[in-house]
Structure 1
Amino acid sequence: MVTKHVLDNGLTLLLKEVHTTPVISWWVLYRVGSRNERTGQTGVSHWVEHMLFKGTDQFPAGILDKAIEREGGMWNAQTSFDYTAYYETMPASRIDLALQAEADRMANALFNPEEVESERTVIISERQGSENSPVFWLHEETRAAAFRVHPYHHQVIGDMADLHTMTRDDLFGYYQTYYAPNNAIAVAVGDFDTGEMLARVETLFGYIPHGPSLPGFSRPEPPQQGERTVRVEREGTAAYTLLSYRAPAATDPDWFCLKLIDSVLTGATAPGGSSLGNRTSRLYRALVETELVASVGGSLFPSVDPFLYNMLATVRDGRTLEEVQAALDAELERLAEGDI
């Protein structure tokens, strides 16, 4: 059973007791990601995530890393199109440190200018590392072609030009806008008493004021008229083909139908996962076992707005993109004819 409670300041709390091991996983998710970014500030969601590991007055930079490790825990974060998530998994008797840390950085992150510049270098290097992969460029160009209006058109890491020009005030203003209890969901799963956990969350998070009304930023993608094709040429010896179809939002019942279809084509994964190399899948048998491609996989991510269903294949030496695309089309036609 999941217990749901909403604090007076708008924080939504979801609690589930699991007493199999003395461990608790604690997550705080914010309804903000690259979908919320404007031109000139692409990548700001991911950069803000980095800055929340750079300290507060209560927990200066580096203190929590050592404290959580010392207590036998782990912590991390991730930024996606639609959300940013922070989490700690700790021994149950030490979970209060995680609750304190997340409550503190929800309201009190410092955004020290020197730390901002240090992270600028880190994130630019992160993007440069991604640029070493031809698949990164293929995904980026495909997204840009698929979304000409909607902000799903850019990668979570952001455009290089924006990473060079964004300021500390840009980052801090974004944090102040979106990092508020009324824009967050806190989740605890593990070995705890629901009443005690609820009381502790009320104590630590209840003082944080309700945030401002959030900007109603929405730019629906216009209907697509006809097929769109991109060709990316980079250094390297391998060729790749990426076939993308428009996919419904996660709230659409058809999303789960498409997820089942993806399981048939490329193999079963958890929602949001990417499949690769499932030997029982149709595409593996049709493309890998026939030596058309070295690998093939699919990805379908749950999203707030309609996104994409992708199939990516690495073409074998001596085979052509046209052969691979024809084989992919044949498997999709097989589905369309009801062979499932």
Structure 2
Amino acid sequence: MPGEGHGVTRHILDNGLTILLKEVHTAPVISWWVLYRVGSRNEPTGHTGISHWVEHMMFKGTPKYPAGVLDKAVDREGGIWNAQTSYDYTAYFETMPASRIALALEAEADRMQNAAFDPDEVESERTVIISERQGSENSPGFWLSEAVRATAFRVHPYHHQIIGDMADLHTMTRDDLYTHYRTFYAPNNAIAVAVGDFDSAEMLAQIKALYGSIPVGAAPPLFNRPEPPQQGERSVRVEREGSAATIFTAYRAPAATDPDWFKLALVDSILAGASAPGGDGIGNKTSRLYRALVETELAASVGGGLYPSIDPYLFSVILTVRDGRQIEEVQAALDAEIDRLVAGDLTQAELDRAKKQAKALFAYGTEGVTGQAFWLAFSENFSGYEWYLHYLDHLDAVTLDDVQDASRRYFRRSQRTVGWFIPTNSGQEG
């Protein structure tokens, strides 16, 4: 029987494909997503970056749609398409005029089974992805993020970047990629979502016709190694050429399904301004860290983040040190603000403002059909689509005592990793 809530219906085909449908008739547009339950979280050493590389290969054609054909067809029909690889998933989407959505449905059904993985294309894409990583390496922030994650996670695969380690990008083979594809790209490991201007019964019939006969895959062996408890504060320094010193402080945070996650989401809004996956946040000039560090000219910028993840991940605060300031004094000022929150220095008015900002960011990211379809697929992957539907309710339910309790329990120095980027050409090394 299909499940239903807030206009969303949930169906599971005989081959295991999970389908979520939501009718939105405000404009003649439909967004179609297919999300596979595999990401960098599931990659062992030797195969880091394989999910992202397979995502690239999915755009290199099938016998039915050779490379470049779908790019032109989607553009000709007035649509957009793209993909993304993250820690916990790999996803593909098309947002099309409603009358042209058949192309998207057919394309993803075809790619689920018939991606070519031409050896020459694999080698060509190896060069592209290595160049992509080299481009990221031009940013000190990339090196610092990689070092902090590798220090915070010594066992769990969250320790490596989504793009993968350079050594693996040089050595993975076409057979490695194709085996990954054949193992994880199966209907029983996928979530398909349609949001937009359609009739649900007709849409479900179209999906069944295209996807219902795709064979069930073997239960995928989702590689994962639990991280053992952290036994004290960790620190790491990256010393390279760069223009500004940077601080990356990361505290251990719970999985998205933990009730504490929403408490820390509001702490994120209080400290550095609300953030959300798929978005860059909103203005944070009213946040505590902006006022305490940027307005006082200790830091040039401040940001933070809390990601909804399957396994426990990180609550991050990132500061760019203002020229002329010492990294030690900026770290001390940051720690003082964290300590103030832990001590219970928080008012109801401040929490109310944080809730308002977090709600505004969430509403902005979900006002269109593409954003809504993403969040339905994203939350179904780690919890259930209801997590997204009740997001605002969960924020509303958080009390002042909740925030203070979560701050005391999670912002312990024994449970954090502190990363410093020291520009070797600035005189700050030592």
TM-score, length-normalised on structure 2?
0.78
CA contact (8 A) 1:23 1:89 kept: yes
Tell me which residue corresponds to 1:10: 16
Cα displacement string for residues 106-143 of structure 1 (whole angstroms, at most 9, x for unaligned residues): 01111000100010000000000000000000000001
Is 1:157 paired with 2:163? yes
CA contact (8 A) 1:266 1:296 kept: yes
Is 1:102 paired with 2:105? no
With 270-279 and 107-116 compared, the bigger mean Cα shift is at 270-279
Tell me which residue corresponds to 1:119: 125
Determine the C-alpha separation between the residues in 2 that align with 1:185 and 1:223: 32
Give the direction of change, closer, same or farther, for the CA distance of 1:96–1:105 in structure 2 (3 Å limit).
Answer: same
Cα displacement string for residues 188-222 of structure 1 (whole angstroms, at most 9, x for unaligned residues): 10000000000000000011011111115231111
What's the CA shift for 1:275? 3.9
Give the direction of change, closer, same or farther, for the CA distance of 1:316–1:36 in structure 2 (3 Å limit).
Answer: same
What's the CA shift for 1:101? 0.4
CA contact (8 A) 2:149 2:160 kept: yes
Task: Choose which of 243, 254, 259 in structure 1 pairs with 2:249.
Answer: 243
Tell me which residue corresponds to 2:341: 335
Determine the C-alpha separation between the residues in 1 that align with 2:220 and 2:226: 18
Task: Choose which of 226, 230, 238 in structure 2 pairs with 1:232.
Answer: 238
Determine the C-alpha separation between the residues in 2 that align with 1:227 and 1:108: 48
Is 1:138 paired with 2:155? no
Tell me which residue corresponds to 1:34: 40
Number of positions where the alignment pairs a residue of Structure 1 with one of Structure 2: 340
Determine the C-alpha separation between the residues in 1 that align with 2:307 and 2:274: 13
Tell me which residue corresponds to 2:220: 214
**CA RMSD across the alignment:** 1.1
Determine the C-alpha separation between the residues in 2 that align with 1:309 and 1:86: 27
CA contact (8 A) 1:277 1:284 kept: no
Determine the C-alpha separation between the residues in 2 that align with 1:275 and 1:16: 26
Is 1:55 paired with 2:26? no
Determine the C-alpha separation between the residues in 2 that align with 1:276 and 1:200: 39
What's the CA shift for 1:276? 7.2
Cα displacement string for residues 28-62 of structure 1 (whole angstroms, at most 9, x for unaligned residues): 00100001111111000000000000000110000
Is 1:84 paired with 2:119? no
Determine the C-alpha separation between the residues in 1 that align with 2:35 and 2:125: 22
CA contact (8 A) 1:43 1:159 kept: yes
Q: Which SS does the other structure have where 2:237 is aligned?
A: coil
Tell me which residue corresponds to 2:382: none
Residue identity matched to 1:5: H
Determine the C-alpha separation between the residues in 1 that align with 2:18 and 2:200: 14
| 1:314-329 superposed matches below 5 A | 314-329=320-335
Point out where structure 1 has 5 or more consecutive residues left out of the alignment.
none
Identity %: 76
Determine the C-alpha separation between the residues in 2 that align with 1:135 and 1:111: 33
| 1:280-319 superposed matches below 5 A | 280-319=286-325
What's the CA shift for 1:237? 2.2
Tell me which residue corresponds to 2:272: 266
Determine the C-alpha separation between the residues in 1 that align with 2:312 and 2:163: 20
Q: Which SS does the other structure have where 1:332 is aligned?
A: helix
Determine the C-alpha separation between the residues in 1 that align with 2:122 and 2:135: 20
Determine the C-alpha separation between the residues in 2 that align with 1:201 and 1:139: 40
What's the CA shift for 1:328? 1.1
Is 1:73 paired with 2:79? yes
Residue identity matched to 2:336: A
TM-score, length-normalised on structure 1?
0.98
CA contact (8 A) 1:120 1:163 kept: yes
Determine the C-alpha separation between the residues in 2 that align with 1:142 and 1:236: 17
Determine the C-alpha separation between the residues in 2 that align with 1:262 and 1:9: 40
Is 1:257 paired with 2:263? yes
Tell me which residue corresponds to 1:177: 183
| 1:163-202 superposed matches below 5 A | 163-202=169-208
Give the direction of change, closer, same or farther, for the CA distance of 1:223–1:166 in structure 2 (3 Å limit).
Answer: same
Determine the C-alpha separation between the residues in 2 that align with 1:70 and 1:48: 26
CA contact (8 A) 2:276 2:306 kept: no
CA contact (8 A) 1:298 1:312 kept: yes
Cα displacement string for residues 293-327 of structure 1 (whole angstroms, at most 9, x for unaligned residues): 11000011111111111110100011111111111
Cα displacement string for residues 141-187 of structure 1 (whole angstroms, at most 9, x for unaligned residues): 00110111111110000000100000000000000000000000001
With 26-35 and 326-335 compared, the bigger mean Cα shift is at 326-335
CA contact (8 A) 1:12 1:185 kept: yes
What's the CA shift for 1:274? 4.9
Cα displacement string for residues 56-79 of structure 1 (whole angstroms, at most 9, x for unaligned residues): 011000000000000000000000
